[in-house]
A = this chain, B = another copy of it.
Amino acid sequence: MRFATVIDPAQPDRPRAAVLQGETWHALGAGDLSALVTSGGLVAGGPTPPVGGPIAGAVPVNPLPSPTKVICCGLNYGDHIAETGRERPRFPTLFPKYADTLVGPTDDVVLPAGVEADWEAELAVVVGAPLRRASRDEAAAAVLGYTVANDVSVRDWQRRTLEWFQGKAWDATTPLGPVVVTPDEVDPAAGLAISCRVNGVEVQRDSTATLVFDAVDLLAYISTFTVLRPGDVVLTGTPGGIGMTRDPAWYLADGDVVETEVEGIGTLRNTVRLTDS
């Protein structure tokens, strides 16, 4: 199954949670996927909620506008660990974003002029049942599905202090979507191609099979110290090829188009706007 939050062009002010049937999005009984999941209307491994009519020309937007937690793993692909000069980790390196940090799959990414903005293509996992001190099996059963993210990072702010948070949590800078695909349709552990292109030039390519800690590992680990709830999102880390570690460093410029793709899920296409505001 493929779920999304979509805009109906006939009612553009009223987003809808939706499910794909054939080539057509059909409405589900909630204003967005966050609301559907947090209300219990859609549960990991549960039945498909009641399906409404087709939405002609539906356009996916940010599927999950209101997660209570958005937690990210850094240093989780072997080649990205190598390019940062570090050793393979014993524990996942975790940092958070906010619901405020997210934007949709085709939204502009707007940052002040002059910052060092960098790309990080990532697989994201969406929680579909509460998790506290979960085993790996319990975490696997709680996966609602997978989606695509770009952990756009403001490197100069990330490097200002020991903690990455202030370079990672700029409002409306992390594209998410376009769809959430249930685990019966995609298996990241078996290997999904993940890639990033900047103005059509491929800058990252790897397979999700090479993750040090996979999505299920991360959910179980995080649930040791903080509860995860339906609709929460975990970003699993980025492969090698970021801009910061290139020689010379390559940062995103005003007008650049960043495409982020995970095989079997979909593609984000976002334009960078570096404004003075």
Contact = CB atoms under 8 A, between A and B. Distances in A.
A246 interface: no
Contacts of A68: 98
A98 B226 contact: yes
Q: Give how many copies assemble into the complex.
A: 2
Interface stretch (A17-25, A84-92, A184-192): A84-92
Contact of A225 (B74, B95, B169): B169
B92 A165 contact: no
Contacts of A98: 68-69, 226
Interface in A204-230: 222, 225-227
A12 B226 CA distance: 27
B89 A161 contact: yes
A166 B227 contact: no
A77 interface: no
Given A169-B225, A226-B169, A227-B171, A163 B74 contact: yes
Interface residues of A, number: 31
A164 interface: yes
A93 B164 contact: no
Nearest to A95: B163
Interface string A151-189: 000100100111111100111000000000000000000
A90 B162 CA distance: 12
A127 to B, nearest CB: 14
A95 B161 CA distance: 10
Contacts of A95: 163, 165
Interface of A: 68-69, 74-75, 89-96, 98, 100-101, 154, 157, 160-166, 169-171, 222, 225-227
